[in-house]
Structure 1
Amino acid sequence: MSNKVIQAMYDDDDVLIKAVKETRAAHHHIEEVYTPFPVHGLDRAMGLENTRIAITAFIYGLVGLSFAVWMLDYMMIQDWPQNIGGKPSFTFYENMPAFVPIMFEMTVFFAAHLMVITFYMRSKIWPFQKASNPDPRTTDDKFVMEVALHGNEDELTSFLKATGAIEIKVEDKHE
Structure 2
Amino acid sequence: MSNKVIHVLYNDDDILMDAVKKTVAANHYIEEVYTPFPVHGLDKAMGLAPTRIAICSFIYGVIGLSVATAMMYYMMIKDWPQNIGGKPSFSYLENMPAFVPVMFELTVFFAAHLMVITFYMRSKLWPFKDAENPDLRTTDDHFLMEVAIDGDEDQLMSFFQETGAVEIKVIEKH
SS in 2 for 1:8: strand
User: Residues 104-143 of structure 1: matches in 2 within 5 Å?
Assistant: 104-143=104-143
Question: Structure 1 length normalisation: TM-score?
Answer: 0.96
Distance in 2 (CA, whole Å) between partners of 1:117 and 1:3 is 32
Distance in 2 (CA, whole Å) between partners of 1:57 and 1:41 is 22
Shift of 1:148: 0.3
Shift of 1:3: 1.3
User: Residues 4-153 of structure 1: matches in 2 within 5 Å?
Assistant: 4-153=4-153
Shift of 1:151: 2.3
Encode CA deviations 1:78-131: one digit per residue, 9 max, x unaligned.
111111112121111111111110010000000000000001111111122221
Shift of 1:173: 2.2
SS in 2 for 1:57: helix
Q: Does 1:166 align with 2:174?
A: no
Distance in 1 (CA, whole Å) between partners of 2:34 and 2:62 is 35
Question: Structure 2 length normalisation: TM-score?
Answer: 0.96
Distance in 2 (CA, whole Å) between partners of 1:34 and 1:87 is 58
Encode CA deviations 1:51-88: one digit per residue, 9 max, x unaligned.
11111111100000000000000111011111111212
Q: Percent identity?
A: 73
Question: 4+ runs of 1 displaced by more than 4 Å?
Answer: none
Q: What RMSD in Å do the two structures reach over aligned CA positions?
A: 1.3
Aligned residue identity for 1:16: L
Paired residue total: 174
SS in 1 for 2:147: strand
Distance in 1 (CA, whole Å) between partners of 2:173 and 2:19 is 21
SS in 1 for 2:134: coil
Distance in 2 (CA, whole Å) between partners of 1:166 and 1:173 is 21
Aligned residue identity for 2:36: P
- Runs of 5+ in structure 1 lacking a partner? none
